[in-house]
Structure 1
């Protein structure tokens, strides 16, 4: 089934053709895509209540800025959330957290019905705790496969039944001649979000460098169709430097020039240092009892002031391999 929305000349939504900047012309190497150039504010009214939307990005890096902001502006300017008949709430799927100026704003405007699989936003946490946002935590390595399986869209009431997501809004640093997407400094679940979306909006960010060649992207195949990763040398690749995309599902190109917003980490405090001290004492006792080696096992610290306190703490541990 082909997408129901066609924006072959997306710029016509704005009432006149849009002229791409020189930077955008250099980054978008598939000329036909420039015919789909659109303003984010003209795309915002196309999003319907209960739409399933996937964003690119990972912990505040590589997420779309223009279109999500325009959707929030449209809802706020038209006071849509005040009337149940016009209110819009979306099912939002992102590989991890994203910039607070878009994600937290959506939560503050009560625009999020469901959010998967991970978040750190204060406004989203408020919405979850108040019961306004349905949320289930999921290991980030498992989320892309579950999205492709269709677990998150079992109760989806509209759109293409073969596509779990109605929309993918992703940030790119370039588009190749084949129409493939070169991501920014994060990949996360972007390949699977693109793979499962009925309609795709690509925000080409000309503010940041073209990172073509940096990535090694493997398309997700669900079991039992997985293939082995044939890695025998540090220079070997398991995939490609860009994400394949069906050009027919790309409905709009938006130029972006906004930076990522990772935000500062919370500083260490007495509570975080106390928590770190308890954990370090626990690990020390495990070493003393012989249940852990002195160099410990591989540990993942996570992020935040507690993780920073743990990493900066003192303990009777050694570097190296036993």
Structure 2
């Protein structure tokens, strides 16, 4: 890319950093077989797209692999292009790319599915790493050497702190309005750590950018890449009913005096249910809502503009093509109402508990005692990963999991006798919601939970066989959580053999 250094002075405002500008073709040659890369990016935003595309092109010509650490899922420039070039040997802490998923499940890529709050601590403890290169997208470098991130922070601060070398991709095509929305705070080492100084979600206690050791910066490359939009998950009839039931639960909590109309800070997963819930809040009694989540989605901007949300923080944006197009003006209008933080702060267990966050996330399957599988199909094949759901579920004021009652046109029940993989035990789950209703598990014993989940959340076509299993388990095995071990996964086995969980078919 033919860029005159004088033209970069408004973006790279520190002259010493200007001296580090190199062609991307040179920078990609520094990456060698077996190196560990700590790469910026979270939920398609903030990844160094130009560098990774060029690295993938080199990977098609040369035989080498790298270990790839990120904030969370990455877009086609990272996970997509790199796995297609067979560059990824190891991956953590989260992914959502279908090609990479296949390679993981075939055993061709080693994958650690990790709580998103834990990657930084694993690096500090030398459990993973060391990082050879941190490769970070930036929108600017300030006069005093702060790197201004783009649409995500994720693990970038810890990658920069721990890396032997740093490559910065300054993206000239991104909104300059990103500058000012970041709050970078890095905790001290465990055992020497001060309390994270957040009393209110809108408190600013960090720096506006990431401080960098100039001596570790090997090179700066220049790009003109667009932010990557996320798919817009429109609610359907079932997900809308799930959202309505969840909103009804929150209304009931207000009526019981457990919540006010301001609720408590909200964390939501990504998808059609989350969008339906956020959309429903526009026409609800709720007001002055705070979002304290991993991602800021379209619906959050909609609620800010409707006057329902007063403040939102996360570690990244996850926006549709429409919102990506309007992001420059949205940032200018709402800069005092949004903030991005490192994921070890947005997902910090103590902060989640201190703020009293209401968390809702999606399950793949749930068993009759409230244990949740968020990650695996038939107990073996990974879908995406646990992401931040564990950080929030264990520590939230109210932990909610949502799922449609069936999948595969009714051939699979998502409420089963015993989940095939456990990510969240019933000790970390408060509320379960499907399109048929919700169950408040708080204060209920396991047998009471089973009765209510079967009757209130399970699809009607599966209820009778669930009742039979539960009654037989009580008679044959007894116990606090009655099970018949050789029948506990009979529904899964029947599906594998016959293509349906309905035992009479």
For the 8 Å contact 1:117–1:136, the answer to whether it is kept is yes
Give the SS at the match of 1:119.
Answer: coil
For the 8 Å contact 2:20–2:219, the answer to whether it is kept is yes
Deviation for aligned residue 1:191:
0.5
CA distance in 2, matches of 1:19, 1:299: 44
Match of 1:75 in 2: 59
Residue 99 (1) aligns with residue 75 (2): yes
Deviation for aligned residue 1:200:
0.3
2:149 to 178, 183, 192: 183
Give the SS at the match of 2:128.
Answer: helix
Higher relative contact order (CA 8 A, sep 6+): 1
Write out aligned runs for 1:219-258 (5 A).
219-231=186-198, 237-258=204-225
* Change in 2 beyond 3 A, CA 1:313/1:122: farther
Moved more, 231-240 or 98-107: 231-240
Q: Which structure: larger Rg?
A: 2
Match of 2:105 in 1: 129
Match of 2:169 in 1: 203
Match of 1:113 in 2: 89
Q: TM-score, normalised by structure 2?
A: 0.50
Deviation for aligned residue 1:232:
6.2
Residue 303 (1) aligns with residue 279 (2): no
Deviation for aligned residue 1:28:
1.1
Match of 2:474 in 1: none
CA distance in 2, matches of 1:260, 1:169: 17
Moved more, 187-196 or 105-114: 105-114
For the 8 Å contact 1:301–1:311, the answer to whether it is kept is no
Give the SS at the match of 1:27.
Answer: coil
Match of 1:60 in 2: 44
Deviations 1:264-303 (A, max 9, x none): 23444466567768x759959x97xx8x879787653311
Give the SS at the match of 2:174.
Answer: coil
Match of 1:46 in 2: 30
CA distance in 2, matches of 1:57, 1:147: 17
Deviation for aligned residue 1:222:
2.2
Match of 1:27 in 2: 11
Deviation for aligned residue 1:252:
0.3
CA distance in 1, matches of 2:227, 2:3: 25
Deviation for aligned residue 1:237:
2.9
Moved more, 267-276 or 169-178: 267-276
Alignment RMSD, CA only?
Answer: 3.4
Gaps of 5+ in 2: 289-505
